[in-house]
Amino acid sequence: MANCLVAQSGGPTAVINASLAGVIRANQLNPVYDRVFGGIHGIEGVLEDKLFDLTDLPAREIDILKQTPSSALGTCRYKLKRGNDTDYKRLVEVMDAHSIEVMFYIGGNDSMDTVDALSEWAAANGVAKRFIGIPKTVDNDLVPVDHCPGFPSAAKLACQITHATRLDYDAYTRPEVFVLETMGRDAGWLAASCCATGDVDLLVLPEVDFDKDAFLAQVQAKMDATGECYIVVSEGAHYADGTYISAGESANDGFAHAVLGGAALTLKQMIVDAGIAPRGVVQDLSRAARSSNFAQSLVDVTEAYELGLSAHMHSARPGFTGQVVGIAPRTDLSAPYNPVFFAGPASQFANFVRTFPEEWILPDYQGITDEALAYFRPLIAGEPKIIYENGMPATIMPFNKR
């Protein structure tokens, strides 16, 4: 009887472990594989034969794994490059040593490209190994899906911090601006999602070249009208020439790239220097938003888990390789939310970046359209029942630390 391998790659999320839990649990419900091995630290550890036997993980641990943020197997930034026969052969050697026929890889664009490359290479070289992808990324930038597991929970936490800090900001009378910075180097999905709470006055995305004068005019208009201006900026916001906001203006001392909340800090200083407000508050979400378990979206954790189940189920079919499972794009955003699962070629998931749609962006930094709000709202709906221990959401000991 053959075994399978599951590994995680890229940046951790709030629900990447739920997909892992799905694969493990599916095999307990239908033992297609004799053993389910976890690869420690992604492909990097697998090449070093670092595996952990997950087959018989107790149900209670699986439940807690689903609510454990970050990557419980450990992650890596190591990329399996196309044409790297040495790594490919070593991988097959490790798989053979453990009678592993199928590898599930949970990750973002790069990992889906790895799934594509490995399955191509296996076919070309008559190697009877199969490779299946399960997507995750807080950036939400994969092309063929409606959204990507990990993003809804990051968005839900970002929305909660947006609303809480807006209330904090609103409690004061003194004139100041508030600038919140989110992750999002190339795509503004996370920053845009903050608008779902109705708290954002101005939104600065990487999808729109930054125009300082036009932006400051809008800040002035908000301050004139209400005495307040709550701004959300994506870390990747940039000028027309590609220069990041965080690299210019007041932070032009070469220190900027190391500065936490660089874009937010720069916008705040820009506003103060222009005399629009005497001061400002800056909040950077940074790492805190991407893999927490105190604001998981029920939709997200459920889908991540079910994608793990789905990948395992599909894998029972011989010849199923080079495929990735996902949630199909919604055709009608006004219809009740009803996610449709599908599997498609990994090549469609790799090497493309889906930016936030231009037609969903209101002009003059005014936020997002109603259609965009209709897209976001169901994703952040619902809260899982979290198991607490000693006042903290329970988490499992990561497998890479055992």
* Residues catalogued as catalytic: 139
Question: Is 137 labeled as ligand-binding?
Answer: yes
Min. distance of Cβ 243 from a copy of itself in angstroms?
A: 19
Residue 7: burial class (beta carbons within 10 Å; 0-12, 13-18, 19+): buried
Tokens for 286? 């940074």
Q: Rounded CA gap, 105 and 350, in Å? A: 13
291 or 310: CB nearest a copy of itself:
291
Residue 229: what are its φ and ψ, rounded to 5°? -155, 110
Tokens 């601006």, located at residue: 177
Tokens for 202? 């101005």
| Contact status: 175 vs a copy of itself (CB under 8 A) | no
Of residues 90-109, which lie at the interface with a copy of itself (CB under 8 A)?
none
| Contact status: 395 vs a copy of itself (CB under 8 A) | yes
Q: Rounded CA gap, 19 and 4, in Å? A: 15
Tokens for 29? 């419900």
Among 81, 96, 97, 172, binds a copy of itself (CB under 8 A): 172
Among 255, 332, 338, 385, binds a copy of itself (CB under 8 A): 255
| Contact status: 168 vs a copy of itself (CB under 8 A) | yes
| Contact status: 38 vs a copy of itself (CB under 8 A) | no
Q: In the stretch 117-156, what mask flags binding to a copy of itself with x, by CB under 8 A?
A: ---------------------------------------x
Of residues 43-62, which lie at the interface with a copy of itself (CB under 8 A)?
44
| Contact status: 81 vs a copy of itself (CB under 8 A) | no
Min. distance of Cβ 118 from a copy of itself in angstroms?
A: 21
Q: Rounded CA gap, 104 and 33, in Å? A: 13
Min. distance of Cβ 35 from a copy of itself in angstroms?
A: 23
Among 229, 265, 277, 350, binds a copy of itself (CB under 8 A): 265
Q: Rounded CA gap, 324 and 234, in Å? A: 28
Q: Rounded CA gap, 215 and 203, in Å? A: 10
Min. distance of Cβ 1 from a copy of itself in angstroms?
A: 31
Neighbours of 377 (CB within 10 A): 14
Tokens for 217? 């005019």
Grouping H, G, I as helix, E, B as strand and the rest as coil, residue 43 is helix
Neighbours of 217 (CB within 10 A): 14
Those residues whose C-beta lies under 8 Å from the C-beta of residue 401, and which sit 6 or more positions away, are none
**Across 177-241, where does the E strand assignment appear?**
177-182, 202-204, 229-234
Q: Rounded CA gap, 36 and 50, in Å? A: 13
**For residue 66, which of 387, 358, 399 has the smallest C-alpha distance?**
387
Question: Is 11 labeled as ligand-binding?
Answer: yes
Piece in contact with a copy of itself (CB under 8 A), picked from 94-102, 166-174, 341-349, 362-370: 166-174
Piece in contact with a copy of itself (CB under 8 A), picked from 105-113, 202-210, 264-272, 329-337: 264-272
Tokens for 370? 């109603």
Contact predicate 9/76, CB 8 Å: yes
Piece in contact with a copy of itself (CB under 8 A), picked from 70-78, 136-144, 305-313, 352-360: 70-78
| Contact status: 68 vs a copy of itself (CB under 8 A) | yes
Min. distance of Cβ 164 from a copy of itself in angstroms?
A: 4
Min. distance of Cβ 9 from a copy of itself in angstroms?
A: 10
| Contact status: 74 vs a copy of itself (CB under 8 A) | yes
Q: Which parts of this chain interact with a copy of itself (CB under 8 A)?
A: 8, 12, 41, 44, 68-71, 74-77, 156-157, 159-161, 163-165, 167-168, 170-174, 197, 250-251, 253, 255, 258-261, 264-265, 269, 281-288, 290-295, 297, 377, 380-383, 388, 390-393, 395, 398, 400-401
Binding-site residue set for Mg(2+): 109
